[in-house]
Structures are given as C-alpha cells and as structure tokens.
Amino acid sequence: MAQDLLFPRRCPICDRPVKPFGNLICDSCRQVPEPLSGEDCLRVIGEADHLFARGTGAFLYRSIAPSLYRFKFSGREEYADWYAGEMALAMARVLAPPRETLLVPVPIAPGRMRERGYNQSALLARGIAQRTGLAVSETSLLRVRETPPLRRLPAAERRKKVAGAFHACGDDVKSRLIMLIDDIYTTGATMDACAAALLEAGAGEVWFTVLAMGAPNSDDQRIPRQTDDRSGGI
C-alpha cells in the first residue's frame, strides 16, 4: 500500500494513475478495449491447418495496441495484473480448460530478455495461474534461436522464420494439455512453432490464450504510438 502511494499504479489504458485508487484500471477506461467474440477468434484463426487445437483471446488488437506497446517496450509490467485477469476470464468462458492443464508462456530470446528485463508472456502466465489455480512452467519451452520481427511479414514468411526456433524439454509436458500464453496472435506462426516443439516432446494437445488477436495484413496490425499526455511518453 505504501509503495502504491509513492509510485501510483498506472492504468493500462490511459497510463495515468488509476482512479479510484486501489483498482487495476480506471473506471472510465473499462469500456475502451473491445472484447473478442467467438466469431472474432474464428475469423483471425481462419481455416488454415494448425498444430494447436483451440485458442482464444481477450481483446481485439486494434483496441488495445497502444497499451500493449507500453507494456512491452516501456516497462509497464504492472499492466500484467489487469491483463491476466481479463485473459483468465476469456479462457474460462471459451475454453474451460481442465485442472491438469499446464500453462506455458511463449519464451523470448535471451538478448531481448536482457534488453527488456522481463518476458511479458511469463508475467501474464503467472497472473493467470494465480487466478485459476492452474500450474505454470517457464522452463518447459525454450527459444533456441532469435527471430527477426515478424509483424510486417506475410504468413508464409513468418512460418519460415520461426520454424525450429523453440525446443520443449522436461517431463512436465508429456501427455499434458498445454495452454500456451502470449500477448498477441496474428497468423498463428509462433503458436504453431511452439506447438510443434511441445507435441514432439510428447504433449497431448496444445491450446492457447492471448491478450489480443488481430487479423494479419490489416489495420488490426498497426501499432499506433500515442503522442499526447495519455501515452506515458511514447
């Protein structure tokens, strides 16, 4: 509580100190992000063959992009508390995973980890685990090579770039239902690459839950950098 008084928690939407005090998000900002419907998820996933079996997300990407940019690149780790709660609700509502499900965050490369100081997907997975009681493992899936930024690449090129970028290890995944946790879903290339490694290691099935989903090669994929006083200096 004393720390919150000295360093007030910032709202994940407006980036100002949260009002009323003690909340995770301003009351006036709750209606800004657009929640994903089942139809939205199906539209983004499309009809392509995937190695994961099911998936869902909390919000449409375009409605939360500025917030997500600050979360990943401006050190707004505190946003993860509210994000994780919304993701846990979406996961329970759409997927209803059994109690033995293992949460596995999508890993980032060591270089990006050193630069950023945290893996945003791991923060989300921990928060979801706290809210659901599901187990989480941050060591069952490793990124074994760095990949270039994928956002502007077409789906086929993304798949080439991430193929073989992940390795699953340990007995935790064997015969388990794995719930991959990440911040963004677009073409599914990263999810499929992770699923390939997990299934090769003996996982029973792979699902995913993300914070945001957006259609590839559309306006959903633009990251608008706000420049006014609501942007936290971005």
83 and 157, same structural domain? yes
pLDDT at 74 over 70: yes
Collect all residues with Cβ–Cβ distance below 8 Å to 57 and sequence separation of at least 6. 36, 41, 44, 87, 90, 185, 209, 210, 211, 212, 213
157 and 202, same structural domain? yes
93 and 171, same structural domain? yes
pLDDT at 230 over 50: no
Instruction: Evaluate whether residue 233 is within a structural domain.
Output: no
Average pLDDT value over all residues in the chain: 88
Instruction: Evaluate whether residue 228 is within a structural domain.
Output: no
The C-alpha atoms of residue 33 and residue 212 are separated, in whole angstroms, by: 10
4 and 43, same structural domain? no
Local confidence band at 38 (pLDDT 50, 70, 90 cut-offs): confident
Collect all residues with Cβ–Cβ distance below 8 Å to 49 and sequence separation of at least 6. none
Mean pLDDT of 132-156: 88
Q: How far is CA 19 from CA 9, 16, 226, in A?
A: 9, 9, 21
Partners of 59 in the beta sheet?
35, 212
Instruction: Evaluate whether residue 230 is within a structural domain.
Output: no
pLDDT tens digits, residue range 55-68?
999 999 999 999 99
pLDDT at 219 over 60: no
The domain in which residue 200 lies consists of 33-221
Instruction: Evaluate whether residue 226 is within a structural domain.
Output: no
164 and 193, same structural domain? yes
103 and 130, same structural domain? yes
Instruction: Evaluate whether residue 231 is within a structural domain.
Output: no
Instruction: Evaluate whether residue 194 is within a structural domain.
Output: yes
Q: Which pair of tokens denotes residue 45?
A: 């996933």
Mean pLDDT of 49-54: 95
98 and 124, same structural domain? yes
> Could you tell me the pTM of the whole model?
0.89
Local confidence band at 112 (pLDDT 50, 70, 90 cut-offs): confident
136 and 43, same structural domain? yes
Lowest mean pLDDT of 113-117, 142-146, 155-159, 228-232, name the range: 228-232
| Percent of the chain predicted with pLDDT > 70 | 89
- How much is the pLDDT for 223? 39
Burial level of 19, CB count in 10 A (0-12/13-18/19+)? middle
- How much is the pLDDT for 234? 25
User: What is the full DSSP assignment across 33-62?
Assistant: SPBPPHHHHHHHHTTS--SS-EEEEEEEHH
11 and 107, same structural domain? no
Q: CA geometry: angle at 160 spanning 62 and 123, to 5°?
A: 50
Report the domain count for the chain.
Answer: 2
pLDDT tens digits, residue range 5-37?
667 899 999 999 999 999 999 999 999 999 998
